[in-house]
Structure 1
Amino acid sequence: MMLMMGALFMSQAVVAAAPQRPMTVLAFGDSLMAGYQLRPGEGFAPQLEKALKESRRLGGRAVTVVGAGVSGDTTTQGRARLNWVLAGMKTKPDLVILELGANDMLRGQSPATAKANIDAMVKAFKAKGVRVMLAGMRASPNLGATYVRDFEGLYPAVAKANGVTLYPFFLDGVAAQPTLVLADGMHPNPKGVSVMVKRILPSVERELDAIK
């Protein structure tokens, strides 16, 4: 009996000490994900990876963040490259942060088209077993109230329809802040990216925590 209890204790100890498997986050989007005009290590993906490695909530769990941002991409272009991005990864990502739509808006393209593309991308990621966090964007007021309503509303609508987490505004705390953006007034500088990462980090931690 004592031998059996000892073996059980040792078995439980081995299980408890077993290291957790590494996790991968895919940062899929446009120039906001690509680190436009920033030096290596200053963009969203590397700053988020560093924050996750230091996360107390994740307890030092190994997390790699893969940057898949392409400057200038619209939702149509992002949708077109989704499959080959996944095919080129060594391991399937556990979580994707999907951020697209800003270029559609800046070009005055149809919110309905952007919605259809983002919905298709969310469904494609989910079909491949990848958890999705959808990052929302806001529209410029000069596009008119109807456009702003339709564009900004597409993100919560897609998130709700597909049962995924919505991070309401990817540039939260950074947009229209002169000290946090580049000279173009739109893209975040390194300090701005740091603010973005700090604000989105709890949501990313919760998503990774929910993955068994």
Structure 2
Amino acid sequence: MADTRPLFLSRRTLIATGLAALPVRALAARGQVVTILGDSITAGYGLPQQASLPVQLHFALEKLGVPNMVRGAGVSGDTTQDGAARVDFSIRPDTAVVVVALGGNDLLQGVDPKTTRANLDHILTRLKARHMGVVLAGLHAPPEIGAGYARDFDAVFPSLAKAHGVTLYPDLLAGVSRIKALNQGDAIHPNAQGVKVIVGRLAPVVAKALKTRG
């Protein structure tokens, strides 16, 4: 699971360090901090910043009457291994709830689900040690990838959520995946409308996690 690349030479590490050092967006109201540890989907790939998932989640939580600050700690291309390597410095100490949204690139690269599970287990262990709330966002593997692989991959997220006692959001792309009108041309990354669908479903789950921390 350990990332054997020298951290000081890793472009992703430099990006992630920069993200962790950024101040909270000026538009964020006073409230608890949510940090999204993820990949290109949460980094807003192909979208203007205002349409990105972190910004839209902030607005969605505000509409639910939950004052909040949302920080994006998504790095395009990150696998669960990359997330495990940077979890300690990408999540700032004032974070109340972390949305862990990793695994898509593991899926695309055909990473062994056992490896994905071990990496996510490390992330959840570190976050719990820091007394942070967690929403674990899962994904569903397409059946075309193979029934056995899809079954094992899909099982990673609920089993870990149960083992660590954290909140499970079963499928980050629910209501968006495979819907052409809600995705960009690559059929992988949601467009602005797709992001709104995601946050519309995700925000109530995050709001509940924040109130539990509350």
Q: Does 1:82 align with 2:87?
A: yes
Post-superposition CA distance 1:169-212 (Å, at most 9, x none): 00010000000000000100000000000011111111111113
The answer to whether the 8 Å contact 2:80/2:119 transfers is yes
Give the counterpart letter for 2:52 in structure 1.
G
Matching residue of 2:47: 38
Supply the distance in 1 between the matched residues of 2:164 and 2:144 (Cα, whole angstroms): 30
1:126 is aligned to 2:131:
no
Counterpart-to-counterpart distance in 1, 2:213 and 2:169: 18
Quick one: distance in 1 between partners of 2:47 and 2:197?
A: 15
Indicate the residue corresponding to 1:64 in structure 2.
Answer: 69
In the TM superposition, 1:22-171 aligns within 5 A as 22-56=31-65, 58=66, 61=67, 63-86=68-91, 89=92, 91-171=93-173
| CA apart distance, 1:24 | 0.1
Match of 2:24 in 1: none
**Structure 1 length normalisation: TM-score?**
0.85
- SS of the residue aligned with 2:135? strand
- Partners of 1:40 and 1:169 lie apart in 2 by 23
User: AA paired with 1:31?
Assistant: S
Unaligned residue ranges in structure 1 (runs of 5+): 1-20
Provide the residue aligned with 1:197 in structure 2.
199
SS of aligned partner of 2:213: coil
1:135-171 per-residue CA deviation (whole Å, 9 max, x = no partner) reads 0011122221110010000000000000001000000
The amino acid of 1:136's aligned partner reads G
Superposed displacement of residue 49, structure 1: 0.6
Larger Rg: 1
Kept in 1, the 8 Å contact 2:61–2:204? The answer is: no
Shift of residue 55 of structure 1? 1.6
Report the CA distance between 1:51 and its aligned residue.
1.4
Distance in 2 between residues matched to 1:28 and 1:41, nearest whole Å: 18
Cα displacement (A) at 1:42: 0.6
1:123 Cα offset (Å) = 0.9
Counterpart AA for 2:95: P
1:180 equivalent in structure 2: 182
Contact 1:95 1:130 in 2 (8 A): yes
Amino acid at match of 1:67: G
Runs of at least 4 residues off by over 6 Å: none
Tell me what 2:13 maps to: none
User: How many residues matched?
Assistant: 185
Contact kept in structure 2, 1:23 and 1:64, CA below 8 Å: yes
